[in-house]
Structure 1
């Protein structure tokens, strides 16, 4: 028996007036998911524990069977694992985004325009981070390059303080959201002076792109300790994601990471490559479980683009879910397939919420006969509800 999770990050949403009261998931053309829904169990699952923030960190830990209330020590430490950052027990890891701020005002009065600097490439971002490192790094604060706009700061003997995610304050003046810690605050301010007129940003502006003109700290935490996925579930698992957070969870859980060329966490990611990597891992390489993570719906939700979020969902349907099902059907393997988001990223909010998300649970041996389509409304109408997201993995494997 093989097991697959296809996770469309941030795919769930709320009814939107311009879509006639439908959500992007309802408006998207998703024949693969709709056919699966008619043959499967659908329902809602609450992935965010009461009292915890609705991040991709807590939500994906939950979906993977790790109760965030027990295992969560912060987002950035998981990303640090992914990029091979050596962490001591006394270190604090902090996410270091490269963001776009408005340009005319004093730093505290600037507005955060884009949390991802237009989904900047890793190549450009690494050059910019190197410029920051040259001026700001010392024995206490060390910078490490991640992927695209997502990077890491390690603070020796640091403190886990409250820091605001940039995607939670898009379009807002940043003063009240800057770090309370004086050193972190000053590093953010200095980074603008370093980056605003950097040659890469002058070229980006000439091309009509958002300049990557400031760093932004958030998501602090201490070194994580996760139980081995294989010991916990008796399944040999593999992670397929372009995002350091997911790769870090896999490293912490002792799972393999498969790197897919062209997978970048954006709308133009290599969907087919991810699908094929999962099928090969399960059919040819002896893995029991594959977790396919697609970031694009979440990024489009943060951008507030209805059209692009719908496109991301349609890409997930036709270019990941359909070929995964076809590949496993052709192999003759029995399998169970779970499809779901980790959390909603509503267009209205442009950030995450804690609402339950819709799931499909398909078993190739037990074809059901339903009239469901896959969306938030019909998942709720099904009456199926899983109150604790970390139990979803047990349901998949049961």
Structure 2
């Protein structure tokens, strides 16, 4: 049996007045997703356990069968693994966003989706000027980078995800608690270093948001997780442009498949992701495809791009995989967002998300099309989200 998990990040949403009271999913043309739902099992699953913030880190651990209450230690250590950072047990890894600050306002959590090449120059400067034996900065992708603290100070300060506080006061959302003085000092000193860097001068000239400050958050220690193959006896691979998802794959023992044109943004190459996934299913037992664009649209409050992303996922990823189903002796397809990213809130929310499972050995359920409302009305509710993978493997949803 082959298994394909498709995660349109942040796809689930609320009804919108500008869409006539429909959600982006209900508005988008999704014939293949609807086919899966009408001929498979449609339901909702809680990917964010009680007591956890609705982050992609927690949600994606849940989806692959790892209870966050047992295995979650922070977002940044997962991302660190994806770019080859070796963490000791006592090290603290922090996510380091390049942001746009406008005086005391956090204007843009991603600095206009700065290119990795530009970002790398800025991170290199920060490491030269702010790095030392205890603090190191590492280049990731676009606006997403890593800072590692190797000192003895406890660093469990309360830190705010920058995408949750756009348009709000920087001073009111600086880190609070253990280690906050170190973090706030690094963030403030970064403003002086980055303000007049040539990269930012050019970005301002081009009317692009400058990357004129860092934002530290999402910290944690190295997690300890058993390999996926050890637990489920399946060999896995992942297709994604996002370091967080790659980092989870590293800890699972999954291979990471690089896809030309995969960007983690609206311009990602959806067709390549679909075709590479079909090829990967010939060599792996389980293949996960993660698509970031719906989440980015949600954070930007961009309805048009969210609907467009959902339609392209349906036509260029789900459709081709469904068409290739007969190439395999058995194939089960699971599609679900990791969390809601509502247009009106522009951040993640913790509701149970709609999922659909279709394929070999999966009984037909209620026959509804794929929408948030239909999933909730289905009567199939999985409260312990980390057990969804067990249902997928067993084929039983009773």
What are the equivalent positions in structure 2 for 1:234-249 lying under 5 Å apart? Answer: 234-249=233-248
1:118 aligned residue: 112
Q: Is the 8 A contact 1:261 1:273 kept in 2?
A: yes
Offset at residue 93 of structure 1 (A): 0.3
Q: After superposition, give the CA deviation of every residue in 1:122-141 in whole Å (9 maximum; x if it has no partner).
A: 11111111121121111111
1:258 aligned residue: 257
1:311 aligned residue: 308
Q: Is the 8 A contact 1:279 1:328 kept in 2?
A: no
Q: Is the partner of 1:265 in helix, strand or coil?
A: coil
Distance 2:314 2:192 in 1: 43
Q: Is the 8 A contact 2:41 2:363 kept in 1?
A: no
Offset at residue 367 of structure 1 (A): 6.3
What are the equivalent positions in structure 2 for 1:110-259 lying under 5 Å apart? Answer: 110-157=104-151, 158=153, 159-180=155-176, 181-259=180-258
Distance 2:29 2:108 in 1: 28
1:66 aligned residue: 66
Show structure 1 runs of 4+ deviating over 2 A.
364-371
Q: Is the 8 A contact 1:92 1:154 kept in 2?
A: yes
Closer/same/farther in 2, CA of residues 85 and 332 from structure 1, 3 Å limit = closer
1:34 aligned residue: 34
TM-score (norm 1): 0.95
2:289 aligned residue: 292
Q: Is the 8 A contact 2:42 2:365 kept in 1?
A: no
Q: Is the partner of 1:337 in helix, strand or coil?
A: strand
TM-score (norm 2): 0.95
Offset at residue 369 of structure 1 (A): 7.1
Distance 2:203 2:21 in 1: 38
Q: Is the 8 A contact 2:11 2:294 kept in 1?
A: yes
Q: Is the 8 A contact 2:2 2:328 kept in 1?
A: no
2:391 aligned residue: 395
Q: Is the partner of 2:324 in helix, strand or coil?
A: helix
1:352 aligned residue: 348
Distance 1:395 1:37 in 2: 16
Q: Is the partner of 1:378 in helix, strand or coil?
A: helix
Q: Is the partner of 1:119 in helix, strand or coil?
A: coil
| Structure 2, unaligned runs of 5 or more | none
Structure 1 stretch displaced more, 66-75 or 358-367 = 358-367
Offset at residue 315 of structure 1 (A): 1.4
The yes-or-no answer on 1:334 pairing with 2:330 is yes
Distance 2:168 2:368 in 1: 40
Give the alignment's Cα RMSD to 1 decimal: 1.2
| Structure 1, unaligned runs of 5 or more | none
Q: After superposition, give the CA deviation of every residue in 1:52-86 in whole Å (9 maximum; x if it has no partner).
A: 11000000000000000000000000001110001
Structure 1 stretch displaced more, 208-217 or 369-378 = 369-378
What are the equivalent positions in structure 2 for 1:96-111 lying under 5 Å apart? Answer: 96-102=96-102, 105=103, 110-111=104-105
1:382 aligned residue: 378
- Number of residue pairs matched? 389
1:90 aligned residue: 90
Offset at residue 364 of structure 1 (A): 3.5
